Amino acid sequence: MIEIKGIRKSFGSLEVLKGIDLTISKGEVVSIVGPSGAGKTTLLQIIGTLDKPDTGSVYIDGIDVTRLSQRKLSDFRNRNIGFVFQFHQLLPEFTALENIIIPAYIAGTPKKAARQRAEELLQFMGLSDRAHHKPAELSGGEKQRVAVARALVNSPAVILADEPSGSLDSKNKAELHQLFFDLRAQYGQTFVIVTHDEGLANITDRTIHMRDGLLELSTLGSTGEGDDITDVLHTGDEQDESLESQSEAGVRA
Ligand code: ADP
Ligand code: MG
């Protein structure tokens, strides 16, 4: 699903990523942890095609996204990747429903289908009664769930989240984390989540530790205690099935 090979990135004389290799399976929920300044956000932005590495490749579903032209890239990103940031970044002048719909319009989804999809996601998030509220009228947890719905509207295969629960209290945090797993079960998405939250890191399929621009070797090659490759493969199979049932149910952006 995602294959990262030999990624290096410098900002001026500061080498931020020093050779990153990582493979993430379809339907896997992976957390990336590490001290501030380790390069986590930079890596996530490169996986998400928002930034380019100096050297190395990022394959998403077999496509080397580092080689796509700028124009193809924005289309690829809009269709295949959903972002959730620490702060929701919703547009203040639009309602929850409108915020969710906008990326679908940009992808060229017909209005009626886009609205239907946005309403379905609002319902899934338990936010149907907040559809016509603007961000300022929503709680922190509600705003973050709207931001997740917006990330999902085009049914991207990959969701990238950068400290998504960093601004939430513990109850909303737990709910948001549960939501990621519910979404994986329902839609089969792959999640890469940068987090400081140990509770979240503990429940993901795999935790990648990052330090000084490198992945810590001890965390690679093993998917964690009691976990082996067959579990990972099994997870992949389940996700393929749920993706199929998703399209059978006619759920589409
Ligand atoms: P993390 O998310 O792990 O805290 P970042 O990837 O945000 O780390 O940053 C890694 C290092 O790269 C930091 O020292 C940061 O200051 C630097 N950095 C990040 N983005 C830029 C940029 N656009 N220009 C210059 N330096 C940057
Ligand atoms: Mg960061």
pLDDT digit string (tens) for 198-213? 999 999 999 999 999 9
Distances (CA, A) of 116 to 15, 100, 122, 142, 236: 45, 11, 10, 20, 28
What mean pLDDT, rounded, does the chain reach? 86
Helix 229-248 to helix 170-187 angle (10° resolution) is 80
| pLDDT, tens only, 63-88 | 999 999 988 998 899 889 999 988 87
Task: For residue 66, give both structure tokens.
Answer: 């580092």
Q: What is the pTM of this model?
A: 0.83
Domain count, the chain: 2
Q: What is the CATH number for 15?
A: 3.40.50.300
Residue 227 has pLDDT above 90, yes or no: no
Does 86 sit in the ligand 1 pocket, CB within 6 Å?
A: no
| Ion ligand 2 neighbours, Cβ < 5 Å | 41
Could you tell me if 107 and 182 lie in one domain?
Answer: yes
For residue 137, name the pLDDT band (cuts at 50, 70, 90): very high
Across the beta sheet with 190-194, the strand order is 81-84, 158-162, 190-194, 29-33, 206-211, 214-215
Does 188 sit in the ligand 1 pocket, CB within 6 Å?
A: no
Could you tell me if 10 and 69 lie in one domain?
Answer: yes
What is the Å distance from ligand 2's center to 193 Cα?
A: 11
* Cα 30 to Cα 184: distance, rounded to the nearest angstrom: 12
What per-residue confidence (pLDDT) applies to 167?
81
Task: For residue 210, give both structure tokens.
Answer: 């990052």
Higher pLDDT, 72 or 237: 72
Distances (CA, A) of 145 to 7, 38, 102, 176, 195: 32, 27, 16, 7, 17
Residue with tokens 């900002």: 11
Mean pLDDT in residue range 176-193: 91
Determine contact, residues 167/91, Cβ cutoff 8 Å.
Answer: no
Could you tell me if 150 and 242 lie in one domain?
Answer: no
For residue 41, name the pLDDT band (cuts at 50, 70, 90): very high
Residue 132 has pLDDT above 50, yes or no: yes
User: Domain range spanning residue 244?
Assistant: 225-253
Determine contact, residues 118/101, Cβ cutoff 8 Å.
Answer: yes
Could you tell me if 207 and 248 lie in one domain?
Answer: no
Could you tell me if 93 and 159 lie in one domain?
Answer: yes
For residue 219, name the pLDDT band (cuts at 50, 70, 90): low
Residue 181 has pLDDT above 90, yes or no: yes
Could you tell me if 215 and 229 lie in one domain?
Answer: no
Could you tell me if 11 and 42 lie in one domain?
Answer: yes
